[in-house]
Chain A
């Protein structure tokens, strides 16, 4: 591969056995209950689900979380107990103790297998107790890890109002982000503000990210004269954005394909298919794509991207020329790989639980293009990877960095392979120009650690030959 050849090569796709480690999609309650402040998440499942949540969430469980298990017992499984009555009892208890604005039922493997009709029960119970009940089937039979958020947001997409409420007082309540950006300013000022924006059809962004990142990305678009009219999800359930037919929507995370198709098919929105705003290259491409849809000439993005790269050069030089292997567990892999290739890394393989080639089309193109521009071979993308095969391959390839789940991190480290836990990328702030340093901070941490410990000569810490 020479630098002269900058024609994107076709990406190679493969599919393995699906014997890989990932988090159960119910884990999405951990970040969604924090994001949606007036929600309560009820996971209807077994002890197995509860055990996973309580261990995976670590200290968060002690902070009186707004989530709980509806733990199914033998009587529920054999239908000796009435599902409706049981759920009513628990939901009334939740209403009494927490009074949330919405209860989200998370269906699990068990409710699927025993065919508990959650979608059928919810509207009846909703009417009876007077709290909206949103049903999301985030189970391990169908989904992996971050796809849990996708199922919840797809369900929420149905609940977004289709027109702004008429009452002036209610108007105040909605449009959380606009209100935030206009913080404390008088109405006239706000009206004057409007001229900062180009006249374009409403744009709603979807994907749950921490509030500071919401502000950052909104400000970023504001610089181009684009107004974000709402986010799915908003800070509160009562602030879900208005979504009308013909509105534009754009995703900020690669795992939101169900939400995207719900918005397109059910809410008749137009999807802006863009690469995801992860890394300065992704952020720029994301903004450019949105601008192009609205016929706006983007201003100053090239300089901005260059400046960011310049400011993180100290980190980038640590990974330039090194190789990385992504085992795959959270669907951020394509975007991460694209960003790392731009940083000068070579990617051996991209494992990914599920590959929606349509929703991720722009991101895949950018990956192929980036590989061509950087003069590195396009990596193979392996859907439903097989961890056993991957580990054998890793031992042969000896990559400089393996991005993997926690089940394999310590054993690989003990065999002299440097690892980074993939889960951290899910919880860290990785979107937009301003968080570039944060991603690189994570990526380079193991390498910096190695630098600190170098010369001790303790890289191989297992006795026998790697017994995979």
Chain B
């Protein structure tokens, strides 16, 4: 048992659901008790989805506990199959089903006999993997399933596309700025003259998965979701992949050079050097920004970075290499990926911290007193408490991290966005600091003469006690309205009863 208040990565089934609901016309059925479909709320609220989230629950209740699911799961699968005719139904185990140890694979096989669409059991174990690992695994599982199926039917296209082409793997629903990143990568590929064969899982159809092998290579922008699929495609179909995250000017260039190499090995004659130079020096603002006088002021400022492997590593490198900021601590909550992360950031920061305990990170931040933090929503709140500005660079995230405007983190436009994010965090911090030194914009002793300040009315103790229960931000208004009410009615003392009478009468 572990005492826990907060977790960075969600439970395994969330990862599976993220993959399933990213695909078009794929439905997930959770084998779970009532209330475990909170995923639907998150998808509907955080990413403001217009469509119903294609996730339902085959409810585990007392009856199931007593007699087993029996036909229930199968009925739910076939029902959904007729109702919505999905291409694929993914039966999703949860923490509950993993201890019930029902033979879900058997349910899937039996449901498959009646269902028109495909049915599959997600191969994830709640107690062994987290959201991110489960997502990575489920994506690979689905790809493998459809490629094997196509191979068996002899439908697998043997050829490659005429022009160089790419699959972009790892874009998911509820992923941090994933939809903007996908747009930016597509734009980047277009500028490099590379066709985008498929982006997945977000917006992809499982029917098209058999065409994956037509691409010349795979691009896996995120460390957390996609590598298993890319590795599988490489070992089974000999497809090379590039897994350098194009975040920041330097790594975007590295990524493009890796793509160039992969293409040229297959007989293309790609030369992107000029494109990289032009983008870096003249089109993108990030490189110029590093040279500008503003960025000079950031030299040697201390920052703490924490997030998932991909974003924490990339931001650490951007801060250290591209902006001359001193990263005193870089950390990640992807414990299972410790070696990779340590190797990536080792030379760019003073200290590496791999932990899933938000308290440990908060303590570190308090000790190190950086000028700015780049972390998740949790670090943002730590920053608030300690009065240190924070830029959010990774999940877990809130609704404000699903901006409506175009905010990629990847590619050249992404580099611009990251520069803004970093710079704004620091200036705000500096401004705050200056205000503190000079005692703020205004002198502190401002005497406001409100209506109530010169009031002739007295408040009884119980009246005051009730007033103090009213949240601070509306208390003033309630006080004024109540006093006005009391004056109009000729009450001399305001008791709790008067307060509530006023609320009824004037909505105070």
Residues of A near any B CB (own CB < 8 A): 18-19, 21-25, 44, 46-48, 50-52, 54-56, 58, 61-62, 65, 68-74, 76-77, 81, 86-87, 89-90, 93-94, 109-110, 112-114, 139-145, 180-181, 183-184, 210-212, 215-216, 219, 307-308, 311, 388, 391, 405-411, 414, 433-434, 436-437, 461-462, 467-468
Determine the distance from Cα of A391 to Cα of B381 in the docked complex, in whole angstroms: 38
Residues A468 and B34 in contact in the complex (CB < 8 Å), given A21-B40, A61-B6, A219-B497? no
Q: How large is the interface on B (under 10, 10 to 19, 20 to 34, 35 or more residues)?
A: 35 or more
User: Does B433 belong to the interface (CB within 8 Å)?
Assistant: no
A184 and B461 contact, CB distance less than 8 A: yes
Indicate the member of B14, B34, B41, B396 with the most A CB atoms within 10 Å. Answer: B34
User: Does B48 belong to the interface (CB within 8 Å)?
Assistant: yes
Determine the distance from Cα of A243 to Cα of B505 in the docked complex, in whole angstroms: 36
User: Does B442 belong to the interface (CB within 8 Å)?
Assistant: no
Determine the distance from Cα of A409 to Cα of B61 in the docked complex, in whole angstroms: 26
Contacts of B7 in A (CB 8 A): 47, 50-51, 54
Determine the distance from Cα of A38 to Cα of B95 in the docked complex, in whole angstroms: 32
Residue ID in chain B nearest A184 by CB atoms: B461
Q: Which of B50-58, B193-201, B277-285 forms part of the interface with chain A? A: B50-58
Main secondary structure of the interface of A (DSSP, over half): helix
Residues A71 and B2 in contact in the complex (CB < 8 Å), given A24-B35, A139-B33? yes
Determine the distance from Cα of A328 to Cα of B65 in the docked complex, in whole angstroms: 25
Whole-angstrom distance between the Cβ of B52 and the nearest chain A Cβ: 5
Residues of B near any A CB (own CB < 8 A): 1-7, 10-11, 13-14, 32-38, 40-42, 44-45, 48-53, 56-57, 59-62, 65, 76, 83-84, 94-96, 99-100, 126-128, 130, 378, 381, 384, 396, 398, 460-462, 465-466, 469-470, 496-497, 500, 503-505, 507
Contacts of B50 in A (CB 8 A): 410-411, 414, 461-462
B1 and A86 contact, CB distance less than 8 A: yes
Our pick among B11, B35, B100, B497 for the contact of A47 (Cβ within 8 Å) is B11
Determine the distance from Cα of A408 to Cα of B34 in the docked complex, in whole angstroms: 16
Determine the distance from Cα of A61 to Cα of B358 in the docked complex, in whole angstroms: 12
Contacts of A211 in B (CB 8 A): 469
Contacts of B396 in A (CB 8 A): 54
Contacts of A81 in B (CB 8 A): 1
Residues A51 and B11 in contact in the complex (CB < 8 Å), given A142-B61, A145-B35? yes
Determine the distance from Cα of A24 to Cα of B53 in the docked complex, in whole angstroms: 18
Whole-angstrom distance between the Cβ of B507 and the nearest chain A Cβ: 5
Contacts of B38 in A (CB 8 A): 23-24, 51-52, 55-56
B34 and A24 contact, CB distance less than 8 A: yes
Our pick among A70, A405, A409 for the contact of B1 (Cβ within 8 Å) is A70
Residues A144 and B34 in contact in the complex (CB < 8 Å), given A47-B95, A411-B52, A434-B500? yes
Our pick among B76, B100, B461 for the contact of A183 (Cβ within 8 Å) is B461
Determine the distance from Cα of A53 to Cα of B105 in the docked complex, in whole angstroms: 30
B36 and A406 contact, CB distance less than 8 A: no
Residue ID in chain A nearest B2 by CB atoms: A71
A468 and B52 contact, CB distance less than 8 A: yes
Whole-angstrom distance between the Cβ of A87 and the nearest chain B Cβ: 7
Contacts of B470 in A (CB 8 A): 212
A411 and B44 contact, CB distance less than 8 A: yes
Indicate the member of B6, B14, B465, B507 with the most A CB atoms within 10 Å. Answer: B6
Residue ID in chain B nearest A304 by CB atoms: B504
Residue ID in chain A nearest B61 by CB atoms: A141
Whole-angstrom distance between the Cβ of A43 and the nearest chain B Cβ: 10
A411 and B1 contact, CB distance less than 8 A: no
A180 and B505 contact, CB distance less than 8 A: no
Whole-angstrom distance between the Cβ of B501 and the nearest chain A Cβ: 8
Contacts of A141 in B (CB 8 A): 33-34, 60-62, 65
Determine the distance from Cα of A461 to Cα of B51 in the docked complex, in whole angstroms: 10
Residue ID in chain A nearest B48 by CB atoms: A410
Determine the distance from Cα of A181 to Cα of B42 in the docked complex, in whole angstroms: 43
> Closest 8 interchain pairs by CB?
A24-B35, A140-B33, A407-B40, A414-B50, A86-B1, A183-B462, A62-B381, A47-B11
B5 and A69 contact, CB distance less than 8 A: yes
Contacts of B62 in A (CB 8 A): 141-142
Whole-angstrom distance between the Cβ of A301 and the nearest chain B Cβ: 14
Whole-angstrom distance between the Cβ of A150 and the nearest chain B Cβ: 15
Determine the distance from Cα of A139 to Cα of B13 in the docked complex, in whole angstroms: 19
Contacts of B40 in A (CB 8 A): 21, 407
B13 and A48 contact, CB distance less than 8 A: yes
Residues A110 and B95 in contact in the complex (CB < 8 Å), given A46-B11, A410-B49? yes
Residues A113 and B96 in contact in the complex (CB < 8 Å), given A69-B3, A411-B44? yes
Residue ID in chain A nearest B39 by CB atoms: A407
Determine the distance from Cα of A41 to Cα of B387 in the docked complex, in whole angstroms: 29
Whole-angstrom distance between the Cβ of B51 and the nearest chain A Cβ: 6
Residue ID in chain B nearest A47 by CB atoms: B11
Determine the distance from Cα of A145 to Cα of B37 in the docked complex, in whole angstroms: 13
Contacts of B96 in A (CB 8 A): 48, 109-110, 113
Residue ID in chain A nearest B130 by CB atoms: A47
Residues A93 and B497 in contact in the complex (CB < 8 Å), given A19-B59, A414-B51? no
Residue ID in chain B nearest A49 by CB atoms: B95
A410 and B461 contact, CB distance less than 8 A: no
Whole-angstrom distance between the Cβ of A390 and the nearest chain B Cβ: 12
Determine the distance from Cα of A68 to Cα of B358 in the docked complex, in whole angstroms: 13
Whole-angstrom distance between the Cβ of A425 and the nearest chain B Cβ: 16
Residue ID in chain A nearest B35 by CB atoms: A24
Indicate the member of A93, A141, A308 with the most B CB atoms within 10 Å. Answer: A141
Residue ID in chain A nearest B127 by CB atoms: A74
B100 and A68 contact, CB distance less than 8 A: no
Whole-angstrom distance between the Cβ of B96 and the nearest chain A Cβ: 5
B507 and A437 contact, CB distance less than 8 A: yes
| A–B complex contacts, Cβ < 8 Å, 9 sampled | A24-B36, A70-B1, A110-B95, A141-B62, A145-B35, A219-B500, A406-B45, A411-B44, A414-B51
Determine the distance from Cα of A20 to Cα of B42 in the docked complex, in whole angstroms: 16
B4 and A69 contact, CB distance less than 8 A: yes
A72 and B52 contact, CB distance less than 8 A: no
Contacts of A93 in B (CB 8 A): 3
Indicate the member of A46, A72, A437 with the most B CB atoms within 10 Å. Answer: A46
Contacts of B384 in A (CB 8 A): 62
Residue ID in chain B nearest A462 by CB atoms: B50
Residues A216 and B500 in contact in the complex (CB < 8 Å), given A54-B7, A406-B41, A407-B41? yes
Residues A70 and B35 in contact in the complex (CB < 8 Å), given A388-B56, A410-B44? no
Contacts of A434 in B (CB 8 A): 500, 503-504
Residues A409 and B44 in contact in the complex (CB < 8 Å), given A68-B5, A113-B100, A211-B469? yes
Our pick among B1, B57, B460, B500 for the contact of A87 (Cβ within 8 Å) is B1
Whole-angstrom distance between the Cβ of B473 and the nearest chain A Cβ: 14
B99 and A77 contact, CB distance less than 8 A: yes
Determine the distance from Cα of A73 to Cα of B128 in the docked complex, in whole angstroms: 10
Contacts of A74 in B (CB 8 A): 127-128
Contacts of A89 in B (CB 8 A): 1
B466 and A212 contact, CB distance less than 8 A: yes
A391 and B52 contact, CB distance less than 8 A: yes
Determine the distance from Cα of A226 to Cα of B303 in the docked complex, in whole angstroms: 62
Q: A25-B35, A144-B35, A216-B500 are in contact. List 17 more A-B contacts (CB 8 A).
A: A18-B61, A19-B57, A19-B59, A51-B7, A54-B7, A72-B1, A73-B127, A74-B127, A77-B127, A90-B3, A113-B99, A140-B36, A141-B33, A141-B62, A308-B504, A408-B44, A461-B50
Contacts of A216 in B (CB 8 A): 500
Whole-angstrom distance between the Cβ of B53 and the nearest chain A Cβ: 7
Determine the distance from Cα of A210 to Cα of B378 in the docked complex, in whole angstroms: 28
Our pick among B44, B126, B130, B504 for the contact of A406 (Cβ within 8 Å) is B44
Contacts of A72 in B (CB 8 A): 1
Determine the distance from Cα of A414 to Cα of B50 in the docked complex, in whole angstroms: 6
B462 and A180 contact, CB distance less than 8 A: yes
A215 and B496 contact, CB distance less than 8 A: yes
Determine the distance from Cα of A19 to Cα of B7 in the docked complex, in whole angstroms: 28
A109 and B60 contact, CB distance less than 8 A: yes
Determine the distance from Cα of A25 to Cα of B36 in the docked complex, in whole angstroms: 11
Whole-angstrom distance between the Cβ of B404 and the nearest chain A Cβ: 14
